[in-house]
Structure 1
Amino acid sequence: MKRIRIATLSHVLFAVLLLVGCNQSTSSEKGAGGGSKKLVVGVTMLSMQNEFIVNVHDEMAKKAEAEGVDLITVDAERSPLKQVEQVESFIAQKVDAIIMNPCEVEASSPAVTKALAAGIPIINVNSETSTKPSAFVGSDDVESARIAMKFIAEKLGGKGNVVMMHGYMGQAAQIKREQGAREILKQYPNLKLLAQQTGEWDRAKAMSLMENWIQSYGPQINAVFAHNDEMGLGAVKALEDAGLKSKVIVVSIDAIPDALQAVKKGTLDATVFQNAEQQGSKAIETALKAAKRQAFEKQTLIPFQLVTTANVATFLKP
């Protein structure tokens, strides 16, 4: 198994070196910023099985193509160890900049340290590490949870039982969304957190978790706060199957297309829009400025927006 992975990595490295060599030989053709070669940016993403993360990456790819930049993308498959190895590979390839969508706050931090030590700018997108990178592009996850939980509190009149589905434990979004939710819960003493557990950002796992909670608590559950839409939609399906959806409020985060359609239909009560397009494009912009040693923003925060049936039409793409 290990030999296959190393062999695959070698082929990728060979292809990348060949590509860079070809770019150098074509001198000023399509040179980003007028340099002697196209800039090369290495990108390691948390998981290309997650729809929102894929959306962020798609915008990166679109922006990179428009800027004439070579993008090398790898999937960390939710493994911080793999992510650190991927960044080490980018360093060996001498890429001009690295964009990392961190798997975990602590365990992905060595990747930042290694990149900075090698003199390569590293930009964290969407999620954070404890070690400070060259720049961060994303949104304030604490605020997203405040928005979601405040909606729940108002809908319930400040009284009721809430269950909370966490993302992967230890990831920045999970930590901060829990923090934001708890801030609002403190403001409503009659709003109780009945149960909480990770659904690992996954729709099927969230559905199974919701089924277990329905068995344990049944009609005691008044609302579900899911840290992302995939889990929110899993919860909706379990509640529908149990005939309880009309009695339970479900709110999640990201505003992926499936979630927007669910809000339009009224099965998902609300989602919190996170702008994948801006996160992806701004990450590339920041990486290019850093690679060219130009001035760049150390932190770019893109606001969240509440999406309900009242305004969902403005978020739906034609």
Structure 2
Amino acid sequence: MKRIIFYSFSLLIASFLTSCNQSSSGENGEKKLTVGVSMLSMQNEFIVNVHDEIEKKAKESDVELITVDAERSALKQIEQVESFIAQGVDAIIMNPCEVEASSPAVTKALAANIPIINVNSETTAKPSAFIGSDDVESARIAMKFIAEKLNGKGNVLMMHGYMGQAAQIKREQGAREVLKQYPGLKLIAHQTAEWDRAKAMALMENWIQSYGNTINAVFAQNDEMGMGAVKALTDAGLKDKVVVVSIDAIPDALQAVQKGTLNATVFQNAEQQGAQAIETAIKIAKGQSYEKETLIPFQLVTKENLAKFMK
């Protein structure tokens, strides 16, 4: 009944939101905090790693979690957030599918006086808080490594993530910034493989047919695609001649760096992103002070410094 009253008179009692949420803090035998979580895709290893940490910290804090998979659909994600609002959750964590198309979800949550935290990816609509990393920086690091490996000259291919998602837009931006600094580097083709290993392998096979021995480097905007590119190049007997760099430092990629099949990856801290997202959600729901933006640095991973990233 409390929830019905809350939504019916939300304009009148918005100022009491904090105290309402504190009453469901899970302490002294009271009702637990409930947090709704909508993830971009639970088929993506990095996203699963982020979620695993959210789940772990939620258990430690005695928070009830309702997790749903948006399956890369912004429309589905908006519907999921609408469902969270209807359920009267205390806070929402969203891993946005798209910058523009997922924005209405943020607007709807805020209109219902429910705090919403974007994790890992951004929306045009400003959420209560953002936890992630500067994706422009990650691509600058990756492309700079390629430029140095090739001594500033060569033909480069770029595999995009899911088009329209913040990471895809910003990683392209960062890569192109570095390419401008090296006139000898030519971007001969770029296309999306939608963060997917199998799609990346198929795309790389097509590029090998088109460009063959003229390919000098591949920048894949995430490790799943990087691993797909490595497989296709290895099968074609070209891997030793082509520099491949990707982003995220998932376990498969770290092993590939160790073997020498992947030249480098850029570490993105899934654990910190997940942990800080749920910690921020709890703080806002309890009316405590919190950071509106938390940016976790990226780090280049090569054979030389691999040991500190291996678990």
TM-score using structure 2 length? 0.92
> One-letter code of the match for 2:305?
N
1:266 aligns with one of 260, 266, 283: 260
User: 2:116 aligns to what?
Assistant: 122
Pair 1:92-2:86 in alignment:
yes
1:264-303 map, 5 Å: 264-303=258-297
Give 3-state SS (helix, strand or coil) of 1:61's partner.
helix
Structure 1 residue 294: Cα displacement: 1.2
User: 1:218 aligns to what?
Assistant: 212
1:131-210 map, 5 Å: 131-210=125-204
Report the Cα distance in structure 1 between the residues aligned to 2:110 and 2:57, rounded to whole angstroms. 24
> One-letter code of the match for 2:208?
I
The higher-RCO structure (CA 8 Å, 6+ apart) is 2
User: 1:236 aligns to what?
Assistant: 230
* Aligned positions, number: 290
Q: Deviations over 1:232-264 (max 9, x none)?
A: 000000000100000000000000000000000
Unaligned runs of 5+ in 1: 1-27
Q: Deviations over 1:245-297 (max 9, x none)?
A: 00000000000000000000000000000000000000001000111111110
Q: Deviations over 1:92-139 (max 9, x none)?
A: 000000000000000000000000000000000000000000000000
TM-score using structure 1 length? 0.90
Unaligned runs of 5+ in 2: 1-21
User: 2:11 aligns to what?
Assistant: none
Contact 2:25 2:286 in 1 (8 A): no
Percent of aligned pairs sharing the same letter: 82
Structure 1 residue 32: Cα displacement: 3.5
Please give the root-mean-square deviation of Cα atoms over the aligned residues, in Å. 1.4
Report the Cα distance in structure 1 between the residues aligned to 2:232 and 2:63, rounded to whole angstroms. 44
Structure 1 residue 314: Cα displacement: 1.1
Moved over 4 A (4+): none
Give 3-state SS (helix, strand or coil) of 1:195's partner.
strand
Report the Cα distance in structure 2 between the residues aligned to 1:32 and 1:283, rounded to whole angstroms. 19
Give 3-state SS (helix, strand or coil) of 1:57's partner.
helix
Give 3-state SS (helix, strand or coil) of 1:293's partner.
coil
